[in-house]
Amino acid sequence: MAEALVTPALIRWARERSNKPPDKLGVPFNKVLAWESGEARPTFRQAQNLAQRLHVPFGYLFLSSPPKERIPLPDLRTLAGTEREKPSPEFIDILYDALRKQEWFREHLQEEDAEQLPFIGRYSIHDDHEAVARDIRHTLAIDTGARTATSWESFITELVRRAEGSQMLILRSSIVGNNTRRPLSVNEFRGFAISDRLAPLIFINSRDAKAAQIFTLAHELAHLWIGESGISNLDYFKRAERQRHEIDRYCDQVAAEVLVPSKDFAIRWNLHGSLEDNLRHLARTYKVSSFVILRRAFDHELIDQLTYRSKYGELKEGSKRARKKENGAFYPAFLARNSNTFTNAVVVAHAEGRINGTEAATLLNVKLGTLPNVERRVLGGEFPDA
């Protein structure tokens, strides 16, 4: 077979980018080293397989030098003057997938003559964070509606439903697309927000402890209310005022106030009660997870850092056990990854002939053959609550 005239340095770049050693690519170790040194070249079939395993476009292997992979959102994980960590292929792919979805949905809404959202960018970091939190709670009817949920799990489901009902896209995933072999890293990011007056988007890394994801959601909502796109990786072991970036510090304060209003919390916390009793009682009162109450107690200096870290570890382990029990429910996870609102919009657009099957399948990250099953469930109302 004909050799592929790939650039040896690009093979090495792609392999190092994916953090894979030469002996984990499905071909002999010495052959990979020969390709990287230029002593030999792969066939076209081998080069295509290599690109697929390394998660790069096939054409990249023929470039003269590695492409610069730009992060098109403000990166709040680092401070000015500090070196930014190299983004993982999984992060790059999930970010650009979200951007593609947001761009398509924006064009879809423009065709529908949808109105811009008045609350996006309504405030700035110079406004009182309690006022911003009150507006979020009012806009999404959190106090009068979502608080009637029977548990914090149903509360976050209801909060996502209300956010999407307000023309936002909420994506929640722990993997790239539907590929379980490409997990996301919580150490790299917890979420990001794309601020847009017509089609704002929030992504939540659901590899994170489930009990903590509701805090990330509230944090990213705060980003939208101040009109600031950004990638976040909150350090849960730091109080709001100690977060690395001023925007994250502010949004952290807003998020806490959205979920558990400070003045009300101070009244309800029982100084004479045990930590367990306070967590249990206030979690039921506010319909949030025990993690959120724990975090609020830490912010108010009602518990020390050692106690906070210890209890957080317990809650995180409990969340891991809960996630294992939920594995195997494909369609609820599918809806969470793509957003209920986005999935419905794509399916209806395909049914009306405004986009073809290939485009619909690509937008939803499914194989073309799987699309009819998705459409039957969406159009037939067979999806369970996500």
- Output the tens digit of pLDDT for each of the chain's 386 residues: 678 888 999 899 889 888 888 888 888 889 889 898 889 999 988 989 999 888 888 889 998 888 887 888 988 876 444 445 678 999 999 999 999 999 999 999 999 999 999 999 999 999 999 999 999 999 999 887 666 777 788 888 889 999 999 999 999 999 999 888 899 999 899 999 999 999 999 999 999 887 789 999 999 999 999 999 999 988 888 877 777 788 999 999 999 999 999 999 999 999 999 999 999 999 999 988 899 999 999 999 999 999 999 998 888 777 666 655 545 577 888 999 999 999 999 999 999 999 999 999 999 999 999 999 999 888 876 554 44
Task: Please report which residue ranges of the chain form alpha helices under DSSP H.
Answer: 8-17, 29-37, 44-54, 89-111, 129-139, 152-165, 210-225, 246-259, 262-268, 275-286, 290-299, 305-326, 330-338, 340-351, 357-364, 371-379
Judge whether 179 lies within some domain.
yes
Residue 218 lies in a domain: yes
Element (H, E) at 181: strand 179-183
- Angstrom CA distances, 250 to 42, 128, 213, 241, 245, stand at 52, 10, 18, 8, 9
Are 101 and 203 found together in one domain? yes
Residue 330 resides in a domain? no
| CB 129, CB 254: distance < 8 Å | yes
User: Is the same domain home to 111 and 206?
Assistant: yes
Rounded to the nearest 5 degrees, what angle is found at the Cα of 326, between the Cα atoms of 320 and 281? Answer: 60
Q: Are residues 157 and 219 in the same domain?
A: yes
Task: Please tell me the predicted confidence (pLDDT) of residue 321.
Answer: 62
Is 273 in the same domain as 350?
no
| Phi–psi pair at 321, nearest 5 degrees | -65, -40
Domain co-membership, 115 together with 190: yes
Does 312 share its domain with 339? Answer: no
* 323 neighbors 349 (Cβ within 8 angstroms): no
- Write the CATH number for 46: 1.10.260.40
Structural tokens at position 268: 């309800």
User: Are 290 and 375 contained in the same domain?
Assistant: no
Is the Cβ–Cβ distance between 174 and 168 less than 8 Å? no
Q: What is the DSSP letter of 203?
A: E
Same domain? For 244 and 108 the reply is yes
First and final C-alpha spacing in the chain: 48
Task: Copy the structure tokens of residue 347.
Answer: 């399916």
CA 287 to chain CA centroid, nearest Å: 22
Q: Rounded to an integer, what distance in angstroms lies between the CA atom of residue 272 and that of residue 162?
A: 37
Domain end among 43, 62, 81: 62
Domain boundary among the residues 322, 351, 370 is at: 322
Number of domains in the chain: 3
Among 273, 296, 322, where does a domain finish? 322
The pTM for the full model equals 0.88
98/235 same-domain check: yes
- Note whether residue 374 is domain-resident: yes
Same domain, 94 and 147: yes
Q: At 188, give phi and psi (nearest 5°).
A: -85, -45
The closest of 21, 18, 24 to 91, measured between CA atoms, is: 18
Treating both helix axes as pointing N-terminal to C-terminal, what angle do 305-326 and 290-299 enclose, rounded to 10 degrees? 160
Residue 73 maps to a domain: no
Residues 6+ away with beta carbon under 8 Å from 22: 15, 29, 32, 33, 36
**From the CB of residue 18, how many other CB atoms can be counted at a distance below 10 Å?**
17
- What's the Cα-to-Cα distance from 227 to each of 243, 306, 354, 357, 362, rounded to whole Å? 19, 35, 31, 34, 29
In one letter, which amino acid is 359? E
The reply to whether 111 and 230 lie within a common domain is yes
Name the β-bridge partners of 173.
205
User: Are the C-beta atoms of 231 and 189 separated by less than 8 Å?
Assistant: yes
Residue 100 lies in a domain: yes
55 and 195 belong to one structural domain: no
Print the domain residue range for 364: 335-379
pLDDT of residue 75: 85
Measure the CA dihedral 161/166/167/169, to 10°.
-40
Does residue 386 form part of some domain?
Answer: no
CB-based contacts of 384: which residues, under 8 Å, 6+ apart?
Answer: 331, 332
Residues 231, 73 contacting (CB under 8 angstroms): yes
Return the pLDDT at 328.
53
